[in-house]
Structure 1
Amino acid sequence: MDKLHLDQHISRQYNADLEDLRTELLEMGGMVQEQIRDAISAISNADSDLARKVTTVEDEVDAREIALDEHCTLILARRQPAASDLRMVLAVSKITRDLERMGDEANKVATMAIALVDEGQSSQGYVELRHLAKSVLLMVDQMLNAFARFDVDAAMTVVREDKLVDREYKSSTRELITYMMEDPRSIGRVMNVMWALRSLERIGDHARNVAEHIIYLVKGLDVRHTSVSEMERQVSES
């Protein structure tokens, strides 16, 4: 397991600033993780009250994004970080954006949950949704653990899982399209499920983005827009 060794500075406040940045990001990540879990539970269990709770969290997640951006800007202006310290600040800034977008997608799932309750619950599509949700939640958990431990191996696991999530999403979509063709009366309800599946797939994409930022943070490698095999090669050789 790879570890990031942040420089220790004469200024205790500088050390504290960097550690606070890490802590604040993990707190935001935990909040978004709970938002995703609640959204999935709301749509799986036709719980409109829980879905509405998810939508109210959105403002707090946005506020966390703004606060973290301000913190990163202050460190850049006051400390002029270099090497691993600079990568830490830049990575946190990028990860924050992905976390906020994951929260946006969770909010969309909650909105679909409310629509499904209003239209009358249908069991069609919920098996596919629960299956995909399980995989996405695992990715998010692995992603946060990878950042907490600066663990490149865990980050690579998230990248690989994203490919599986993409395949699951495509398979589920094909099944639901077939069902709508067989029963046109179900189109409205099933479309809501499909939009929720799309949001879950997007959450997986953002989790992969975060994993790539973690690899950059620890290894100094920019692996964006790189195939999994090429990424594995670069990481193993660094």
Structure 2
Amino acid sequence: MDITSDIHSQHISRQFNQELDELKTHLMAMGGLVEKQVQDAVGALLDRDSELGQRVVDNDRAVNDMQIKIDEECTQVLARRQPTASDLRLVLAVIRAASDLERIGDEASKIARNAIDLIESDSGNRGFVEVRMISEHVRRMVRDALTSFARLDTELALKLVHEDDEVDNEYGSAMRSLMTFMMEDARSISPVLSVMWILRALERIGDHANNLAEYVVYLVKGLDIRHTDPEDLDKDMFERNP
């Protein structure tokens, strides 16, 4: 996946251009791995595939290594090139995005570990419907967040910022349903708690996808909307030049 570079100036130094392009490429590669980690973690639970779950746990080290590499590359660019304006925003956005991707990887690993516990305990599939529904939503958010970053698409980014509230509502509804079930059947407490941890991890993945979308706005428009209520965001500002 290539990131468009229309908002970035072309530099006299071809090497500098190459360094910026490599930052984008490596971030997208990390995003692809993290997206698959989430997919496989949920798949391990729904398909009762403990071996797949273990692969997700084992692959978390690869995600961490990619973040370290990207951070090192960004540090070198900052030290050698001292970028300004949109180039500086790009480097900072890549650093922040890599951090959120690493945390998504952590959440995928948590899902996989809980999935393995549920599979080994053979405790039924209570809450799996909710997991499937919310996981499909947050996986789509991660995919769209990466697409918006790759295309510098602020309209798609704005859509994701609004969509995060939908995930929060779905998560709250699922948790209330599972709490009711636990009160009705004390024997279900342990496995349902594991499902709740999985749902919590999925909700956090949605939060990190939302963060990625916010970085797109920062990168393209120079606007920090991290603490802005989505309802207060003016679509017109995304149509104005940075």
1:34-113 correspondence runs (5 A): 34-113=36-115
1:17 counterpart residue number: 19
Q: CA deviation at 1:187?
A: 0.6
Is the 8 Å Cα contact of residues 19 and 77 (structure 2) preserved in structure 1? yes
User: In the alignment, residue 36 of structure 2 is paired with which amino acid?
Assistant: E
- 1:10 aligned counterpart, secondary structure: coil
Q: What is the aligned counterpart of 1:154 among 153, 156, 159?
A: 156
**Alignment gaps of 5+ in structure 2:** none
Is the CA contact (8 Å cut-off) linking 1:4 and 1:218 kept in structure 2? no
Alignment correspondent of 2:171: 169
Give the CA deviation at 1:235: 3.1
Distance 1:3 1:227, change over 3 A: farther
Secondary structure of the residue aligned to 2:227 is coil
Partners in 1 of 2:57 and 2:125 — Cα distance? 24
Partners of 2:50 and 2:116 within 8 A in 1: yes
State the TM-score, normalizing by the size of structure 2: 0.95
Q: For each residue in 1:88-137, what CA deviation from the matched residue of structure 2 results, as whole angstroms up to 9, or x when unmatched? A: 00000010100000000000000000110121141210001100001001
**Alpha-carbon deviation of 1:232?**
3.2
Of 190, 214, 218, the match for 2:216 = 214
Give 1:147 deviation, angstroms: 0.5
CA distance in 2, matches of 1:134, 1:180: 25
CA distance in 2, matches of 1:162, 1:232: 17
Q: How many residues align?
A: 237
SS at match of 2:12: coil
> CA–CA distance in 1 between the matches of 2:125 and 2:63?
31
Quote the residue 1:116 is aligned against: 118
Letter in 1 for 2:222: G
TM-score, length basis structure 1: 0.96
Q: Which runs of 5+ in 1 are unaligned?
A: none
Report the CA distance shift for 1:4/1:187 in structure 2 as closer, same or farther (over 3 A): farther
Residue type matched to 2:26 in 1? Answer: E
Residues 21/78 of structure 1: CA separation in 2 closer, same or farther (3 Å cut)? same
Q: Deviations over 1:27-64 (max 9, x none)?
A: 00000000000001011121110000001111110000
Contact 2:114 2:194 in 1 (8 A): yes
User: In structure 2, what is the Cα distance between the partners aligned to 1:119 and 1:235?
Assistant: 52
1:174-205 Cα distance to aligned partner (Å, 9 max, x none): 00000111111111111100100000000000
Secondary structure of the corresponding residue to residue 194 of structure 1:
helix
**Which position in structure 2 is the counterpart of 1:190?**
192
1:213 Cα offset (Å): 0.8
Structure 1 contact 39–54 (Cα < 8 Å) conserved: yes
